[in-house]
Amino acid sequence: MLPTWLLPPTIALAAWTAAAGSVDRNVLTEALPGALIVPLALADYVLWRRRGKPWHDWVVILLLMPAIACAVWIGVGGLLMGTDRTTDGRLLVEVGPGLALTGLLTTMISYHGRHHPDEQRARTRPAAPRGASPRG
């Protein structure tokens, strides 16, 4: 149920970053990546729910990879592209949201990627009884 709790702050923060980037006219470093995170995170959550909240679903996992790349770009894009901003502004609109979104999304992806506790037991061959010959 962790993704259910992480989705609202992820969407809110991504939308806020996209809006702030639009106001500041920083389309490539804030507005576009923030706007891309919203549908990717929503689609990921909807797919995860429709598939019955599976354990270790590659499609659900891969759907969040571009969103994580966008979150990292929000954090470093302004620095790399030389966006003119004060230190406080950079922390408030770029680095802070970028780090927070990266953390939220990677936590979601780690939850989607977990393995069922019985999975390893099902793959492991039962041990031979004590004293039994290995050749049977």
pLDDT of residue 26: 87
- Return the domain boundaries, the chain: 2-115
Distance CA 1, CA 126 (A): 33
Q: What does pLDDT average to in each consecutive run of 10 residues of the chain (136 residues)?
A: 91 95 88 96 94 86 95 91 84 90 94 76 63 61
pLDDT of residue 135: 63
DSSP H stretches of helix in the chain: 2-24, 32-50, 58-81, 87-90, 96-112, 119-123
pLDDT of residue 57: 85
The model's pLDDT over 23-50, given as tens digits with 9 standing for 90+, comes to 888 898 899 999 999 999 999 999 999 9
pLDDT of residue 12: 97
